[in-house]
């Protein structure tokens, strides 16, 4: 298990997670060794095992932390308003949150296959929790008569895939600013639900 006390572990633990995330995102989980992570952090490979039991546990920690932070940040957003206002908040939140965490988002979608079935189930459960937040907004919009959606589950998956896709092409300093991207994506989502 990871060491929890002492200034050295408070520095090294986060450095291990940051370097592992960077290396996994750049080269892929399977191609990165614990020795490479240790080298990037500046510790001996054996020292990593003071912080994590193995490479998969490190990946799981990164994915779970990302999902926990995503859900907590969404729930900390201002609540209230009609479904239209809540959907706009969700769209803008999702883009803003994920653009700040491109490596974590990439890992969350590309490296799930490297988790054990038990760890996969945990991450899948967290993803479903987040998806349910959006689906509840869509259902509310149907109830309010402002959204025309034949299947809220399918619409939820399509909207999240579209919003998350921003991370694959957006580049800071490019043709569109973050604000412009959020405005355009909000307009596309709004139209897709018939609002």
pLDDT of residue 11: 62
- Identify the CATH class of 56-192: mainly alpha
Q: What angle do CA 60, 124, 64 make, to 5 degrees?
A: 30
CATH of domain 1-53: 1.10.10.60
The pLDDT, as a whole number, for residue 114 is 95
User: What is the reported pLDDT for 8?
Assistant: 53
Residue 9 has a pLDDT of 55
CATH 1.10.357.10-classified regions of the chain? 56-192
Residue ranges for the chain with pLDDT beneath 50: 1-7
Closest CA to 122 of 179, 177, 52, 68: 68
Six token digits for residue 181: 């991207």
| pTM of the predicted structure, to 2 decimals | 0.88
| pLDDT at residue number 1 | 44
Which pLDDT score is estimated for 12? 80
Residue 63's nearest CA partner among 125, 154, 1, 13 is 125
Write phi, then psi, for 3 (nearest 5 degrees).
-70, 140
Domain with CATH 1.10.10.60 in the chain: 1-53
């Amino acid at each position: 298990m990871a060491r929890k006390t002492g200034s050295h572990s408070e520095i090294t633990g986060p450095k291990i997670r940051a370097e592992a995330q960077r290396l996994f995102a750049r080269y892929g989980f399977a191609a990165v060794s614990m020795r490479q992570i240790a080298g990037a952090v500046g510790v001996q490979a054996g020292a990593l095992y003071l912080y994590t039991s193995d490479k998969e546990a490190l990946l799981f920690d990164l994915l779970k932390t990302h999902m926990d932070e995503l859900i907590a940040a969404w729930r900390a957003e201002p609540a209230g308003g009609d479904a239209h206002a809540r959907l706009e908040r969700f769209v803008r939140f999702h883009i803003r949150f994920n653009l700040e965490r491109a490596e974590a988002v990439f890992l969350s979608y590309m490296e799930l296959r490297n988790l054990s079935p038990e760890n996969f189930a945990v991450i899948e459960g967290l993803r479903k929790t987040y998806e349910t937040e959006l689906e509840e907004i869509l259902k509310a919009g149907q109830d309010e008569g402002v959204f025309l959606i034949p299947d809220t589950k399918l619409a939820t998956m399509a909207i999240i895939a579209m919003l998350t896709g921003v991370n694959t092409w957006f580049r800071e300093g490019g043709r569109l600013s973050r604000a412009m991207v959020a405005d355009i994506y909000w307009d596309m989502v709004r139209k897709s639900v018939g609002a």
